[in-house]
Amino acid sequence: MNSLWKKDMEKPDFKSFSKAEKTDVLIIGGGIAGILCAYKLNGLGVDCMLVEADEICSGNTQNTTAKITVSHSLIYSKLIDRYGKEKASLYLRAQTKAKEEYERLAQTIDCDYEKMDSYVYTLRCLEKIKNEVSALNSLGVRAELSDAGELPINVLGAVRVRNQAQFHPLKLLYNIARELPIYEHTKVIGLKPGRALTNHGEIIYKKVIIATHFPVLNKHGLYPLKLYQHRSYVIALDGVEAPSGMYVDESEVGLSFRSYGNLLLLGGGGHRTGKQGGCWRQLEDFASEHYPGASVVAKWAAQDCISLDGVSYIGKYSKATPDIFVATGFNKWGMTNAMAAADILSDLIVGKDNPYAAVFSPSRSILCKQLFSNAFESAVGLLTPTAPRCPHLGCALKYNRAEHSWDCPCHGSRFSENGELIDNPATDDKKGL
């Protein structure tokens, strides 16, 4: 199942790494975060190279719903409560700068960029929406309370933020990737200080950025505790009057809506990877009830890394690894967070202070409720006396009937029925499935 973005797209081809090389900055991972980091560093004249184990944008980047917005669910009221207005304002400014960068790129790259109002709605608690409107207004964003009346469901209220955007992600990324130093089908199989061993040879580096969606280096940073993965599903519907804005439920298991041309992209059915959820069936049942006569022309699924506090981990991988950097935990808002990561990491690489770096620091406190939930799921997965086991850290795999895959509820690795690796943090196939 390919996403709508893959249809009729001609991807630029890149050679495999073939001989020993040296570079100042090695970027591991050819998704949106890695490509934007390479784009920024290349523009600064920094010697860099990007390696991708498969093909660029072949992972979760191709499965996004591609909304460019500073309105990330109900994040600002939560940030103000936890960290105060100053840090919430810095988070907002980082996202705003990222949105403006996309708008600048879209002036010269045809990527179906459209300005759209963004809505975060609720079916359960209007007070949450009112709090978010107040939080955004206090930070200088003109947010409004809306009834989201064009949706076919009874919405209690929504946060409306005007002049956000949506686009075609692969049209943009394929275009800017063409001139970058990229090697495809080049898998890093070992990482040592200053040296990366790949399936085609060794790379000598000074600094390295790990942009592999879920970080694959377990020794440092406690990422298996700081992150979990969440799956969500999308169907593209034809024969529907699509909404004029971008909509998302504040609930993690709610629905999202956006248009693309004459199609409606309906998202939802979400669940923690390795758990049960509504999947495509929930979306198809909703479409049958609310959009009778519509036809499904594409469907796909995405997987998102969720951080402990709703803020991405962008910066030094850990305090013990000064030359290793990371971008992960985008919490379903990968478009602006990936661009913010490229901005922050490029500054850190060249030794320039970045005003937003402290907000996203991977070394910030991990004392959050979600930490204990992640630890509990890991303990259950490790102690469950069933086979097969995930080769990442040994948790019991669960069969995903909707997608015919074996999924890890601990950290989100996924495998085909034949044991082929689909999603990390596992780095190898699961033999014997």
330-349, pLDDT tens digit by residue?
999 999 999 999 999 999 99
Distant-in-sequence, close-in-space partners of 331: CB < 8 Å, separation ≥ 6:
72, 304, 305, 306, 307, 310, 311, 312, 337
For the residues 413-433, what does the mean pLDDT come to? 91
Please tell me the distance from the alpha carbon of residue 317 to that of residue 224, in angstroms, as a whole number.
13
Contact 303, 229 (CB under 8 A): yes
pLDDT at 347: 98
CATH of the domain at 411: 2.102.10.10
pLDDT at 386: 79
Beta bridge partners of 233: 268, 301
**Do 187 and 287 belong to one domain?**
no
26-54, pLDDT tens digit by residue?
999 999 999 999 999 999 999 999 999 99
pLDDT at 398: 94
**Do 210 and 344 belong to one domain?**
yes
Q: Is it the case that residue 387 has pLDDT exceeding 80?
A: no
**Do 218 and 237 belong to one domain?**
no
Please tell me the distance from the alpha carbon of residue 251 to that of residue 156, in angstroms, as a whole number.
13
**Six token digits for residue 104:** 């600048």
Q: Is it the case that residue 9 has pLDDT exceeding 80?
A: yes
Band the pLDDT of 2: cuts 50, 70, 90: confident
- Print burial letters for 260-292: b (CB count within 10 Å at least 16), e (below 16): beebbbbbbbbbbbbeebbbbebbbebbeeebe
Contact 156, 125 (CB under 8 A): yes
Q: Is it the case that residue 20 has pLDDT exceeding 90?
A: no
For the residues 64-91, what does the mean pLDDT come to? 98
Please tell me the distance from the alpha carbon of residue 55 to that of residue 69, in angstroms, as a whole number.
27
Band the pLDDT of 409: cuts 50, 70, 90: very high
**Do 204 and 332 belong to one domain?**
yes
Q: Is it the case that residue 106 has pLDDT exceeding 80?
A: yes
How big is the chain, counted in residues?
433
302-335, pLDDT tens digit by residue?
999 999 999 999 999 999 999 999 999 999 999 9
Q: Is it the case that residue 268 has pLDDT exceeding 90?
A: yes
pLDDT at 226: 97
Query: No. of H helices and E strands in the chain?
Result: 10, 21
What is the span of the domain harbouring residue 48?
A: 4-64+171-225+309-360
CATH of the domain at 198: 3.50.50.60
Least confident of 105-109, 114-118, 241-245: 241-245
For the residues 175-179, what does the mean pLDDT come to? 96
Contact 102, 68 (CB under 8 A): yes
Tell me what the pLDDT averaged over the chain comes to: 95
**Do 212 and 334 belong to one domain?**
yes
Could you tell me if residue 77 is inside a domain? no
Please tell me the distance from the alpha carbon of residue 207 to that of residue 23, in angstroms, as a whole number.
9
**Do 314 and 192 belong to one domain?**
yes
The residue out of 317, 338, 360 marking a domain boundary is: 360
**Do 218 and 240 belong to one domain?**
no
pLDDT exceeding 70 applies to what percent of the chain? 100
CATH of the domain at 272: 3.30.70
Contact 78, 331 (CB under 8 A): no
| Overall domain count for the chain | 3
Could you tell me if residue 84 is inside a domain? no
Q: What is the pTM of this model?
A: 0.96
Amino acid at 32: I
**Helix, coil or strand: residue 182:** strand
